[in-house]
Structure 1
Amino acid sequence: MSRMKRMAAMIGGYAAHPDPRGAVANAVALVIVSNQPFYPLYVYWAVSPVVAPSYLTFLSTPFFAAVPAAMRRNPLSGRALLLAAGIGNTLLCRAAFGPGSGVEVFLFPCLMLALMLFRRSERVFAFGSAALAYLAYLLPTSLLGAPSHLYEPVEYAALQRLNFLSAASLTVLIGWLFCRSLDRISRGDETGDARGA
């Protein structure tokens, strides 16, 4: 039990950041890291025994895991890394599963983060990140190549449901984390606090 407490304390220390936006970004990144190993199991239980395409999601895990470390060096680059990893992972999954998977729904939490992670003085990064998410959605399927496995229509419908529930849960989590930090975020913006700039 003490080992688990030590592990939880280490993770909490790694995710901690004095800037509330940085703390939210770190928490989101580590929640994604903790959930990625289970995605193949979700696909197996809800969609199909063919889970090999889901293994490609692990290519993005090191980038999400590096967000708190990047945040310590430069908060702006840490927040940008989270968005780049999210958009990149969505494109990777779209290439692996194909457009019928509905995996593009993960661009919604990316859009939400793009508009909430940056300060007023960083609007160019907010709008630039949002534009990247829109461009990722509009990217022609032919540029990403054929999916590694073609699922049956009923399996694609199940995959769409799985991806919608996952993306909706992530969006709710992001909203809840920001609501918890709203007072500190507003106060930081009003005073011109530059800790997270």
Structure 2
Amino acid sequence: MSVTVARKLWQRVAAYAHHDDPMVAACNLIALVVAFNQPFYPLYVHWAVSEHIWPTFFTFLSTPVFLAVPALARRSPTAGRALLPLAGIANTVLSSKAFGQASGVEIFLIPCALIAATFFRASERLISFAIIGLAIVVYLALDGAYGFPAHFYSASEHQAFLRLNALSAGTLTVFVGLVASGILSRRA
């Protein structure tokens, strides 16, 4: 791919993510980063966990939803911002079912709750609290209720999954924090 093609592609992605409201633009950016990272998850699982990666393909069901965040945000900025953590929560539930609760994938509920806590205004606290509450309810209510995973991973594979998911969710949490601090620094 030539530099010119790459630059034009990047400009189109940046234009798609752009919004005059910095909180909406931040959620758009986070959603696209998550969507663009999803195709690499099977590779991470293969390298770090197991050669049995076929359950990771279930995570691609959420990719179009993450990609739709900026489009929805153009019609309704609040709905677009809400879709991001809701898609994350849904993807976490789907992944917990696919990999098993022992994979530790529920740790992704933390950045989902952080997004809900960070990117809604004081006048939108009800939405923020509802999404945070949903993340907590999912964690508590689905404990032990996922049934059999799509593939039975060994205890050592689940331990590797836990490390991978902790690193991934931690990285996403730091990224969300950096994006939020960028907004705050522009206001100061």
Deviations 1:160-193 (A, max 9, x none): 0000000000000000001011145x58xxxxxx
Structure 2 counterparts to residues 78-157 of structure 1, below 5 A: 78-141=80-143, 143-157=145-159
Q: Quick one: which amino acid aligns to residue 94 of structure 1?
A: S
Q: Quick one: which amino acid aligns to residue 59 of structure 2?
A: T
Secondary structure of residue in 2 paired with 1:67? helix
The 8 Å contact of residues 101 and 144 in structure 2, kept in 1 or not, is answered as no
Hey, what does 1:33 align to over in structure 2? 35
Segments of 4+ moved more than 6 angstroms: none
Residues in 1 aligned to 2:161 and 2:38: alpha-carbon distance in whole angstroms: 15
Residues in 2 aligned to 1:110 and 1:43: alpha-carbon distance in whole angstroms: 21
Q: CA RMSD in A?
A: 1.2
Equivalences, count: 186
Residues in 1 aligned to 2:41 and 2:77: alpha-carbon distance in whole angstroms: 29
Residues in 2 aligned to 1:183 and 1:150: alpha-carbon distance in whole angstroms: 46
Structure 1: gaps spanning 5 or more residues: 188-197
Secondary structure of residue in 2 paired with 1:144? coil
Q: What's the TM-score once normalised by structure 2's chain length?
A: 0.96
Residues in 2 aligned to 1:143 and 1:158: alpha-carbon distance in whole angstroms: 22
Q: Quick one: which amino acid aligns to residue 27 of structure 2?
A: A
Structure 2: gaps spanning 5 or more residues: none
Q: Quick one: which amino acid aligns to residue 83 of structure 1?
A: P
Residues in 2 aligned to 1:127 and 1:119: alpha-carbon distance in whole angstroms: 11
